[in-house]
Amino acid sequence: MRQAEIPQPLTFAGRTFSVQELQLIQEISRDYQSLGRTEISRTLCELLEWRRPNGRLKNHECRLLLERLQEFGAVNLPEIRPLGRRGPRAVELTPQSEPEQEIVGSAGEFQPLQLEVVEGSGSDSRLWQELMERYHYLRYRVPVGANLRYLVRSTACPGPELAGLLWTSPAWKMAVRDRWIGWTEEQRRRNLQLVVTNARFLILPWVHIKGLASKILSLCARRLPADWERRYGYRPRLLETLVDANRFRGTCYRAANWIVLGRTQGRGRMDRHHDSDRSAPKDVYIYPLCRNVQQHLCRAVAPAFSGVAEEQQ
């Protein structure tokens, strides 16, 4: 099948690929069909020096780029090898994520809270996935780019999990955030990875602890910068989140001293065609992690991009 020409640069996952780089992607994907999709994406990451600040290849983002280019007819990828179930990754629900007995009280009774990083694919990882799939209205999705997952438990009152969170790379563009920061296009491209998004926040439905959500957010603001630096080699400077105003009032973010900036125009993170029906407008909240954060984001020289989503206006 003939490959479509790519006449102009393409921005994907926080990186702009030149026409020459896109032509290299076409050439490698055409000439190395026998390698399979995973090896093609790894090879391209090495050739294009597409890495995270900690040196790891951005293989997952490259795989998504290849699949996007295939949708456009720009590359022809080898068939997926039958190593497992095809299609979206399904989360099998087990008894470990079934509802627990109701937990009632105030946040002070459950202090200190224990914020546990979820690593790898062990029991906590499977539990985290199940809880999100079963109880979060957005369900579970494989995160793209840099990310950290947490489970929240109480040290004072050992028992079941109280909450789960996911922090990820930010949206590539978000008008109200970008106006507030005041950065130029070049500054945003250089320093966007210093922003981290709260993409999932789930207080489990049987947990009714007054003030718990804001306590967790405050704990994350203190803990996340060091955890992020250990994993990715740099410290974020700004936290952000999007709140669906049709479902939530954002009370816990306000109580934790987050700042509401305004509302998005309703485009999804991956919407490059301005299809406003894909995503309802969201309220944008931010939390600075340092003083003079706007000046810092405009002037700092950050490491290489860590894998941001494409677009959110």
Q: Which residue segments constitute the domains of the chain, with CATH numbers given?
A: 10-71 (no CATH), 97-299 (3.40.630.30)
Query: Which of 9, 15, 14, 74 lies closest to 48 in space, CA to CA?
Result: 15
Average pLDDT over residues 109-134: 93
Q: What is the pLDDT of residues 103-120, one digit of tens each?
A: 999 999 999 999 999 988
Q: What is the pLDDT of residues 265-308, one digit of tens each?
A: 765 443 433 333 345 789 999 999 999 999 999 986 655 434 44
- Is 52 exposed, middle or buried, given 0-12, 13-18 or 19+ CB atoms closer than 10 A? buried
Tell me the two tokens of residue 138.
């957005």
What pLDDT shows up at residue 1?
Answer: 56
What pLDDT shows up at residue 278?
Answer: 44
pLDDT band per the 50, 70, 90 thresholds, residue 180: very high
SS3 at position 45: helix
**How are beta strands 163-168 and 195-203 bridged, if at all?**
antiparallel
The answer to whether residues 53 and 306 touch, using CB atoms and an 8 Å cutoff, is yes
Beta pairing partners, 153: 114
State pTM to two decimals: 0.71
